[in-house]
Amino acid sequence: MALIPILILGGFQVSQIKHITQETNQNQRQTTYRLGDAVEAYMSYHRNAVETLAATISASDAAFRNRESLTLKLQSLQENLEGFAGIYVVDDTGTIKATHQMSTNLIGVDVNDRDYTARVKAGQKAIISSLFKGPESLNQPALAIAVPIYKGGKQVDGFVLAVLELAPIKTLVTKYDYGTEAYPVVLDHAGKPIYHPNAALTESMTDLSKEPVVQDAKMIKQGEGTYTLSTASHKELITYKLIPDLNLIVWVSRSTAAVNAAFTESLRITLLLLVFTLILTMLLGSLLAKRLNGTIHALVGYTQRLAGGSFAQPDQKVVPRGAPSELHQLAEHFFRMAAQIKENQRALLQLNSELEHRVEERTQRLQDEHATLNAVLESMSDAIVLIDVQHNVLYANHQMAESFAIPMGELAHMPEADLFERIAELLTEDQDELQLRKLTAEPRVQSALTVKTEQGKPRFMMVSAFQVAREGRVFGRGYVWRDRTKEHEIDALKNDLISLASHEFKTPITSIRGGVETLLRRDAHWEEDFKLELLEGIHEDIGRIQDLIDEWLDISKIESGAMGIHAQPLKLAAVIESARHRLPEDISAARLQFEVELPGHTPLVFADKLRMEQVFLNLFINAIRYNEREPLIRVTTHADEEFVYVYVQDNGIGIAKEHLAKLFDRFYRVDVSSSRQTGGTGLGLAICKGIMEAHGGTIQVESQLGEGSRFQLTIPRFNGGDELA
């Protein structure tokens, strides 16, 4: 009887495999049509832009058709729309009269022999050329959009020639997932490959117009079939589409052998799984039938004893002989838990007794401290000054003298008016002396003031003025000056954190919300590829949020001293290479030059592998992101008896000298707008500093604006041997 449902499941699985194969073919058709739509949209968008430029030139007077004026118009389009290798104006004689560059050697080049020149003159309308090479395309295969220019009524006065780069079209075509052993092809109206996975065909501008699939596409417009191409040695399943307005052909091809192999392999694996499942089911059923009943009864009896408060060690009667070993382990853990509960109860009682003793000691200490009030006042961080009834300084602590740069000998017995005059000299320009006068006018008043230090930096002070009186008798006035500079900096830091969190979290959360709302729409039926694309985007955004949270957790551990370091002997080359492989795909795809120059005798370091990789990864990412050139990272080392010194040098934008002192501070960013463009939080280098200090090492930086930066890492050397354990 157990064989019947397994066979039913097998039949259902075979049916599912056939359905998956059909669905794969359907997905290939949909991908082909979507590819055609994408190519059509890209080409039409660029053609419309060129037509707009041609219309603007046609509408301008002859005085504004000189080379300088035309060059400005061409430059505007070149700068505002990517994808153009060059934009030119060709006169009615077929000669280039203006380009998008002021200085060029293409002025005067004759293009009458080009396919696009004959077609645009014959049709007097916008055309897209076939694949060609020429000086206007830097002698590389390219397409061109040609749009006629008119003067007067409908008299043709030349045309605008916009040469399209093939690289953006390749990027557009290859961004889609075509499945296993499938590839796309895009042909121009003459049958030349605009994109083909065999780049040599595009480079040689091979004519594929005689291929059967091209003939069918021109006749049927869109469809699918099995073809043997001259560029392949086996039959392929091809879905194709003709873009009527552009006369371009796109197709997606997949080997028929791959289609059949997937079905055959899936069927074989399914049959093997069915046989294995049948055997395993029979064996497990027999085993469980013998042991399940006795095990369940033993477990119920044992838990009942625990509920009754019996914590005795189990014997063979509690857990029957022959019961699974897991049951024995469960009973042992239950008894350990009971013993731990008893031990915790005893520890809590002892802790309570200790706390009571500490409270008594603290009470006695507070009573003793009351007798040392003068010492407390002297050691306070607030500046305190007392004025007697004759308006002279009666008492001032050392903090008062240091805060306002007044020697203690001069401060003693100084008149109140002279004291406030000295303080007024330190006020910033936006402060009013009336605020100081108010402090002496009322019995109790508070005021916030900003004074300048000897270095010219602002110091934020909160001053509290009060009468010193007892039982109606006035003894003078007192002033307490509290330095709020740290609090002000904390408020600024808090505002930065709130601003950072709102910005860094808003973008991924908005993206996640948009994707989820799209998927939850009941009035739409999305394709599986589109759903997968949305889910991948949501997964990436969640990853960004997780990275932000990890950075904040790391900086919290560093601040609290809880950063755990698991040091071990490490080879620097392996750590650097591992960090390099962890570079994100969008960064590692950049044309990165990476030079690691480690001497063969470089000693081992004693460090935490993951944390050191985190430091190198942060420095590598910064070197690439903050770089306006082709990134170059050079890593060199040398060592002494205690440390290994690693230097990470880049050719990035560099850092101004005034920022170097605070570069490793939390949330400090050299340029807020730049950090927002690159997704910075201002925590990366602060975390690097914390990690290095936790190792007993250091991190330092040297930088020159516009030339790059050089970071020095000081890592403890492993002195326990020259070989890894």
SS3 207: coil
564 vs 503, residue with greater confidence: 564
pLDDT above 50: residue 723: no
Residue 370: exposure state from Cβ atoms within 10 A (0-12, 13-18, ≥19):
exposed
For residues 282-290, average pLDDT: 70
- Per residue in 573-603, pLDDT tens? 999 999 898 887 766 656 788 899 998 888 9
570 with 713: CB under 8 angstroms?
A: no
pLDDT above 90: residue 633: yes
Residue 249, H or E segment = strand 248-255
- Per residue in 514-561, pLDDT tens? 878 887 888 878 888 887 887 877 887 787 677 667 766 776 777 667
- Per residue in 487-508, pLDDT tens? 776 666 666 666 666 666 667 7
Amino acid 371: pLDDT: 61
Which residue has tokens 């959009």?
145
pLDDT above 90: residue 261: no
- Per residue in 453-495, pLDDT tens? 766 677 777 888 887 888 778 878 888 878 777 777 666 666 6
pTM: 0.40
Backbone phi and psi for residue 657, each to the nearest 5 degrees, phi listed first: -60, -35
For residues 369-386, average pLDDT: 73
613 with 600: CB under 8 angstroms?
A: no
Q: What angle in degrees, to the nearest 10, is found between the helix axes of 67-80 and 3-59?
A: 160
Strands of 203-321, DSSP E:
222-228, 235-243, 248-255
Mean pLDDT across the chain, nearest whole number? 80
Calculate the CA 487 to chain-centre distance.
31
pLDDT above 60: residue 714: yes
Interacting residues of 215 by C-beta distance below 8 A, sequence separation 6+:
none
For residues 357-371, average pLDDT: 77
* Residue 129 CB coordination number (10 Å): 23
Residue 6: exposure state from Cβ atoms within 10 A (0-12, 13-18, ≥19):
middle
SS3 471: coil
Amino acid 535: pLDDT: 85
Amino acid 481: pLDDT: 77
**Can you read off the two tokens belonging to residue 356?**
């009571």
Q: What domains can you pick out in the chain, each with its CATH number?
A: 38-165 (3.30.450.20), 169-259 (3.30.450.20), 380-483 (3.30.450.20), 484-562 (1.10.287.130), 566-716 (3.30.565.10)
Where is average pLDDT lowest: 2-11, 21-30, 171-180, 340-349? 2-11
- AA letter at 117: T
Which residue has tokens 């001032």?
396
**Can you read off the two tokens belonging to residue 5?**
């449902």
pLDDT above 70: residue 14: no
* Residue 474: half-sphere exposure toward Cβ, Cα within 13 Å: 12
3-state helix, strand, coil in the chain (%, to 5): 50, 20, 30
Residue 544, H or E segment = helix 528-560
